[in-house]
Amino acid sequence: MDFTGLISISFPDPGRPGKKMVRVYYQVGRQIRESCFNDRNGWHVRPSDDVVATNAKPRTPIAATNLHAGKKTSVFYLDDSNKLCRRTRVTSEAGASGEWKDEVVSASHPISPASKLSAVRTDEGDQNLRVYYQSTDNKIRGIVSYSDNGTWTASDLELDGMLPGTSLCAISGDTATRLFVQDKTKNIKEYYSDPDTDWRSNRIKPYAADAAAPITAVAWNYGTNQLQVRLFTLQNKNLVEFVYDKARGGWQQSAVATSQVAIESQSPGVTSAVTSTAMEQDGQFTVFYQPSQNVIAQFNSSWTVEQLGIPTARG
């Protein structure tokens, strides 16, 4: 687990109103593994179903999303042939143990070996799924499965001029989707779409991050004039935060350096992935990253770092 892909999701805990369960996915060897959190048991690994997949290519990107209030989890990754793969777990209760199974997914264009992945659920009622990737012509593209019916079609997204190997971060709510990427000048770019709006570039302030820096974001208060977004990326290997506050005119003028999270790798040219997830209340979130080999640490919305790391599977 040396600076592998990371992705996290959260969903309501059915046994504890107001609380959330969290899942973090990462790579150990050829396997995709899972660590779990709930308010009763804290962080733990479940040996019964912590192995999500066994055929991931080295340093595969990982994307994940959940449906049906946490009863169906989907994890996306790439195999050795650069084929997009999907594993799902369906349970009778949110957060319960269950068997991981293959499920159909297919990209509309050949995927770049440097591609990252992002996945979102874009409609609370129909449970539509969207997956974003970078094709071999370096364009950012998407596929969609309406009502998660097993059929995938190309979406209307086609972005050119993006950095090869750019991170991809999609967030969604109230039928709207925001996609964050990095262009060839290393600037972070935001693109927006909803059922009545074709993809358009939004007004995030120009900011040059590290080349192919990880990008992750959380949002709350969708569908209101109080929409909030927090976006995280790296500059000079330090975690920085962008703040979007709709009530105050949108994106703030400059990023905020946390100064508490610096990411160094023992492997030249390799850096940690970064992922974030919403927690119990609006405005509470946790950012996961690797400060060192085999450790997944946390940085939360109280600007507190937990360096000791969450329990992880080691093979």
* Residue partners of 282: CB distance under 8 A and separation at least 6: 220, 221, 228
pLDDT at 7: 96
The pLDDT value given to residue 262: 62
DSSP structural state of residue 208: B
What is the pTM for the complete model shown?
Answer: 0.94
154: left (phi over 0), alpha (psi -120 to 50) or beta: beta
Residue type, 194: D
Given 3-state DSSP classes, what are the helix, strand and coil percentages for the chain, each rounded to the nearest 5?
5, 50, 50
- Amino acid, res. 140: I
User: What's the rounded Cα separation, in Å, for the pair 40 and 45?
Assistant: 14
What's residue 78's pLDDT?
A: 98
- For the chain, 315 residues long, give each residue's pLDDT as a single digit of tens: 667 889 999 998 988 888 899 999 999 999 999 999 998 889 999 988 899 999 999 999 999 999 888 899 999 999 999 999 999 999 999 999 999 999 999 999 999 999 999 999 986 665 789 999 999 999 999 999 988 888 999 999 999 999 999 999 999 988 889 999 999 999 999 999 988 888 999 878 888 899 999 999 999 988 788 899 999 998 888 889 999 999 999 998 878 876 666 666 555 556 778 999 988 667 788 999 888 778 898 888 776 777 668 888 765
Residues 147, 149, 152, 153, CA torsion sign: negative
Closest alpha carbon to 237 in 273, 210, 257, 201: 210
What is the pLDDT at residue 29? 93
pLDDT at res. 273:
86
Domains of the chain (ranges; CATH) run 6-306 (2.120.10.70)
Of 255, 174, 155, whose CA–CA distance to 213 is shortest? 255
